Amino acid sequence: MVPPGGVRGGRPKMRGESTLKPRTVEPALPVTPSKSTGGRPETAKKRVLFVCIGNSCRSQMAEAFARAYGSDILAPYSAGLAPAGSVAPLTRLMLNHKNIPSDGQFPKGLDAFAGQTFDVVVNVSGQPLDRAMKAVGLPASRVLNWRVRDPIGQSENVYRDVAAEIENLVMRLILELRGS
């Protein structure tokens, strides 16, 4: 039964869309010539995709660390082989403890990046990626395999250890990319 005055009780209609629309991932902007480099193109940022299983923990942490520490040299993204419905609360908590923003990050599948090219794909899923990458037309110049424990369903201490390990690996990658 609907109360008198409707569900909103006489309050004005709420703004916004009445239906949810799927979120999309925008491709990176092309590199343009810069006045500061005499009209030559600036060094393009390396496009890096971090992939785990659910895109809820490890790859989300890696994307956030890479954005916070290496945004001058890379454009980080993350995806999952079987994306979860949301980023794990302990993932956000670990990032918040380190003052690393994760606003706007959400689980995505590899298909969200179909046809896009990446300089580096970092596999933290523990699964082979070749077939999944080919299925969505996802070329990469280089694939790195990082063996990082999956913290999903584990304690806060496990998340803390995993976050520290990923932070260290991301920093190493950033230093390597800055050196090349």
- Where exactly are the structural domains of the chain? 43-179
Residues 5-27: pLDDT tens digits?
554 455 555 554 545 455 555 55
pLDDT for position 130: 87
In degrees, to the nearest 5, what angle opens at C-alpha 85 toward C-alphas 66 and 146?
35
Quickly state the pLDDT bin for 110 (edges 50, 70, 90): very high
- The full DSSP string for 87-150 is --HHHHHHHHHTT---TT----BGGGGTT--EEEEEE-SSS--HHHHHHTT--EEEEEE-----
3-state secondary structure of 174: helix
Res. 58: pLDDT tops 90: yes
pTM of the model: 0.76
Quickly state the pLDDT bin for 43 (edges 50, 70, 90): low
Res. 37: pLDDT tops 60: no
Res. 35: pLDDT tops 70: no
Architecture of domain 43-179: 3-Layer(aba) Sandwich (3.40)
